[in-house]
């Protein structure tokens, strides 16, 4: 059972499915996290993603997602019902299991600093992570009356609007709000009217800041031709869902309308809806373990805890000869990417696979360095191995980003070819997108060669018990370069007279020649140190 954190980022895009998919695919490929839900609303022009994972993996995945959103969402062109600050609007971290709120606050701070310094996006910290009391409430930072358009001027002139990290100037990606908070429920109620003023009045009546219910944030919108009361319930235990619904029902009656339906955005704790069912059904003596699913889970847990479940008969030693030393937990099998490659679709294809293979090579270098650090017999190379470990981790993350970038570059090139032939810009756009499609595998070649240089260090000076792991890494790094170089060549096939294309081709060929020589040197060294060669 690993520590688990939930994150519910809000992105300012609810209409372009290809952009939403690009962001979600980035999240899935950037870290060992689970995307539990994606909810998009074209009227709000907003998507809410729910994901969980270990703290480090979640933090990495969110940085990659923020970068992808910044590359694909231009706030100058964005419009929607929901107030917003930036491409990635809000990023809350929520402790779920074996993680404290303080841990989530530290995650928010680290991510905010990295986003501000690396991506040049202004970042504001809110809720538990807020550095200023007035920024604890999200509504005090961003509201319908103060959002992206107003921030553009205020961030440069108003000291109270200075970001916690990043520049005091907005780019096309806007600003991002990052924080830590307890679980909340995003809950909307639709009314039997298209009069949005009624929804706005009810929103004011129920929200805490206007004297309504504690732990409720509410506003009124017109969504799909219906008046909607949109809410965040920040503490469903102290202000339960049923109480909010009943207050809206009573307020609606004042204006001669009814509740048409309600809507859950994203995910919510089971407890909130059990409480509502208990209240509406007047089940005064109800106990949670009266639920069939709960009782089954209890029985299964008791069976797993039984001594009989843990005891196994002895296995003859000769019967274990063919068993692997360790098994990959089925829940963590890296199958999603492999299945995506196997699908009858052009992406992800060979370019993405080359990047993934190079990432694995870097990961093996990181592993061998980690197995060397802290060992007395390797004390003299401790500093070198620590540097390799850090560099390999950074390289692995960059290559994982390229897995997604390669597929995106291919898709953009195909979009260029689909432009009408009478479009005067078609030829130029195709040329630009062709060069861009070659840049990603060119970068993979560069980074795979970086990986080879790190692998050489661990093969030469790292833990000799892992020397064959270094050799495997070398084989993979070169294979990645060969595959990426092939993609560069095919993308530039018809650009013989283009100078940038020829420079790219020359660089890749030179890197490959160096890589083949270095790989042979690594294999020779690894085989000697592992006892496979004299």
Q: What is the DSSP string of 240-258?
A: -HHHHHHHHHHHHHHTT--
State the sign of the Cα–Cα–Cα–Cα dihedral 346, 351, 356, 361: positive
Residue 318, pLDDT score: 45
Is residue 335 domain-resident? no
Is residue 192 domain-resident? yes
Residue 335, pLDDT score: 67
Tokens 């069912």 correspond to what residue? 277
| Token representation of residue 215 | 């732990």
Could you tell me what percentage of the chain is helix, strand and coil, using 3-state DSSP and rounding each to the nearest 5? 60, 15, 30
Q: Is the pLDDT of residue 333 over 50?
A: no
Which phi and psi (to 5°) does residue 249 adopt? -60, -45
Element (DSSP H or E) covering residue 9: none
Catalytic residue set: 82
Is residue 201 domain-resident? yes
143-157, 284-298, 454-468 — which one is most confidently predicted on average? 143-157
Residues 396 and 383 in one domain: yes
Confidence of residue 324 (pLDDT cuts 50, 70, 90): very low
Tokens 């059990």 correspond to what residue? 274
| Token representation of residue 107 | 């995650």
Q: How many angstroms separate the CA atoms of 162 and 145, rounded? A: 18
Q: How many angstroms separate the CA atoms of 344 and 340, rounded? A: 9
* Helix runs in 418-498, H state only: 426-461, 467-491
Residue 303, pLDDT score: 66
| Token representation of residue 463 | 């833990």
**pLDDT, greater one: 311 or 25:** 25
Helix (H, G, I), strand (E, B) or coil at 266: coil
DSSP string computed for 26-88: HHHHHSS-EEEEEEEETTTTEEEEEEEE-HHHHHHHHHHHHHHHHHH--GGG---SS--SBSE
Residues, the chain: 534
Instruction: Please say which residue of 272, 296, 331 terminates a domain.
Output: 272
Q: Which of 488, 404, 388, 498 is nearest to 446 (CA)?
A: 488
Residues 100 and 197 in one domain: no
Residues 18-57: pLDDT tens digits?
999 999 999 999 988 999 999 999 999 999 999 999 999 9
In the chain, count of helices (H) and strands (E)?
16, 11
Residue 444, pLDDT score: 92
Which phi and psi (to 5°) does residue 165 adopt? -140, 155
| Token representation of residue 360 | 């694995």
Q: How many angstroms separate the CA atoms of 252 and 265, rounded? A: 22
Q: How many angstroms separate the CA atoms of 288 and 285, rounded? A: 10
Is residue 169 domain-resident? yes
Residues 10 and 60 in one domain: yes
Percentage of residues of the chain with pLDDT beyond 90: 62
Residues 182-198: pLDDT tens digits?
988 999 999 999 999 99
Residues 168 and 205 in one domain: no
Q: What is the domain-level CATH number for residue 364?
A: 1.20.120.680
- Tally of structural domains, the chain: 3
Q: Which of 197, 256, 210, 202 is nearest to 229 (CA)?
A: 202
**pLDDT, greater one: 301 or 142:** 142
Residue 258, pLDDT score: 97
Confidence of residue 329 (pLDDT cuts 50, 70, 90): very low
* Bond into 348 cis (ω within 30): yes
Query: Does the predicted model carry a pTM greater than 0.75?
Result: no
Residues 138 and 67 in one domain: yes
Over residues 283-289, mean pLDDT: 84
The answer to whether 55 touches 426, Cβ cutoff 8 Å, is no
Q: How many angstroms separate the CA atoms of 265 and 85, rounded? A: 20
Residues 228-282: pLDDT tens digits?
999 999 889 899 999 999 999 999 999 999 999 999 987 788 888 998 999 999 9
Q: How many angstroms separate the CA atoms of 23 and 36, rounded? A: 14
Helix (H, G, I), strand (E, B) or coil at 238: coil
Residues 245 and 381 in one domain: no
Instruction: Please say which residue of 272, 287, 304 terminates a domain.
Output: 272
Element (DSSP H or E) covering residue 264: strand 259-265
Residues 500 and 425 in one domain: yes
Please provide the average confidence, as pLDDT, over all residues in the chain.
89
Residues 19 and 82 in one domain: yes
Instruction: Please say which residue of 233, 252, 272 terminates a domain.
Output: 272
Q: How many angstroms separate the CA atoms of 460 and 470, rounded? A: 9
Cα torsion 434, 174, 401, 410 to 10°: value is: -20
Q: What is the domain-level CATH number for residue 211?
A: 3.30.70.670
Is residue 321 domain-resident? no
Q: How many angstroms separate the CA atoms of 74 and 65, rounded? A: 15
Residues 477 and 375 in one domain: yes
Instruction: Name the burial class of residue 332, with classes exposed (0-12), middle (13-18) and buried (19+) by CB atoms within 10 angstroms of its CB.
Output: exposed
Q: Is the pLDDT of residue 7 over 70?
A: yes
Q: How many angstroms separate the CA atoms of 66 and 203, rounded? A: 30
Burial per residue of 111-126, b for 16 or more beta-carbon CB atoms within 10 angstroms, e otherwise: bbbbbbeebebbbbbb
Domain that holds residue 158: 4-180
Q: What is the domain-level CATH number for residue 20?
A: 3.30.990.10
Rounded to a whole number, what is the largest CA-CA distance in the chain?
91
Is residue 489 domain-resident? yes
Residue 304, pLDDT score: 64
Instruction: Name the burial class of residue 168, with classes exposed (0-12), middle (13-18) and buried (19+) by CB atoms within 10 angstroms of its CB.
Output: middle
Strand-strand pairing, 176-180 and 123-127: parallel
Is residue 500 domain-resident? yes
Contacts of 28 (CB under 8 A, 6+ apart): 35, 61, 336
Is residue 490 domain-resident? yes
Residues 191 and 171 in one domain: no
CB-CB neighbours of 96 under 10 Å: 14
Confidence of residue 206 (pLDDT cuts 50, 70, 90): very high
Residues 18 and 165 in one domain: yes
Q: How many CA atoms lie within 13 A of 451 on its CB side?
A: 39
Q: How many angstroms separate the CA atoms of 223 and 81, rounded? A: 8
Residues 163 and 213 in one domain: no
């Amino acid at each position: 059972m690993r520590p688990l954190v939930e994150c519910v980022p809000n992105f300012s895009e609810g209409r372009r499915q290809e952009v939403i998919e690009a962001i979600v695919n980035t999240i899935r490929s950037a870290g060992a996290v689970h995307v539990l839900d994606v909810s998009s609303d074209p009227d709000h022009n907003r998507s809410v993603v729910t994901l969980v994972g270990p703290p480090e993996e979640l933090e990495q995945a969110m940085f990659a997602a923020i970068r992808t959103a910044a590359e694909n969402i231009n706030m100058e062109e964005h419009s929607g019902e929901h107030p917003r600050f930036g491409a990635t609007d809000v990023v809350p971290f929520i402790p779920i299991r074996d993680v404290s709120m303080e841990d989530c606050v530290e995650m928010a701070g680290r991510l905010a600093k990295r986003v501000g310094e690396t991506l040049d996006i202004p970042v504001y910290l809110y809720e538990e992570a807020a550095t200023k009391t007035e920024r604890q409430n999200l509504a005090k930072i961003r509201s319908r009356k103060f959002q992206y358009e107003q921030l553009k001027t205020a961030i440069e002139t108003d000291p109270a609007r200075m970001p916690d990290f990043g520049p005091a100037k907005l780019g096309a990606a806007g600003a991002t709000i990052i924080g830590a908070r307890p679980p909340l429920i995003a809950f909307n109620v639709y009314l039997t009217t298209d009069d949005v003023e009624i929804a706005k009045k009810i929103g004011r009546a129920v929200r805490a800041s206007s004297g309504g219910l504690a732990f409720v944030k509410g506003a009124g919108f017109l969504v799909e031709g219906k008046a909607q009361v949109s809410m965040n319930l920040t503490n469903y235990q102290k202000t339960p869902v049923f109480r909010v619904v009943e207050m809206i029902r009573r307020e609606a009656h004042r204006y001669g309308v009814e509740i048409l339906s309600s809507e859950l955005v994203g995910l919510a704790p089971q407890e909130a809806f059990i409480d509502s069912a208990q209240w509406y059904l007047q089940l005064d003596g109800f106990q949670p373990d009266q639920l069939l699913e709960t009782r089954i889970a209890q029985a299964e847990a008791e069976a797993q805890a039984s001594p009989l479940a843990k005891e196994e008969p002895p296995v003859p030693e000769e019967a274990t000869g063919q068993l692997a030393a360790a098994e990959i937990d089925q829940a963590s099998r890296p199958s999603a990417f492999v299945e995506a490659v196997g699908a009858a679709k052009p992406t992800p294809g060979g370019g993405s696979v080359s990047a993934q293979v190079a990432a694995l090579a870097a990961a093996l270098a990181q592993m061998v360095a980690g197995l060397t650090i802290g060992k007395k017999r390797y004390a003299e190379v401790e500093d070198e191995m620590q540097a390799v470990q850090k560099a390999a981790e950074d390289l692995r993350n960059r290559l994982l980003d390229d897995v997604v970038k390669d597929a995106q570059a291919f898709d953009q090139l195909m979009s260029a070819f689909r432009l009408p032939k009478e479009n005067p810009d078609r030829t130029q756009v195709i040329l630009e997108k062709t060069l861009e499609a070659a840049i990603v595998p060119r970068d993979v070649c560069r980074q795979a060669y970086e990986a080879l240089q790190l692998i050489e260090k661990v093969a030469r000076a790292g833990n000799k018990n892992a020397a064959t792991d270094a050799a495997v890494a070398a084989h993979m790094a070169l294979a990645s370069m060969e595959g990426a170089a092939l993609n560069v060549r095919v993308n530039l096939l018809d650009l013989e007279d283009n100078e940038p294309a020829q420079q790219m081709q020359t660089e890749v060929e030179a890197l490959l020649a160096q890589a083949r020589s270095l790989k042979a040197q690594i294999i020779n060294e690894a085989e000697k140190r592992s006892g496979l060669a004299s």
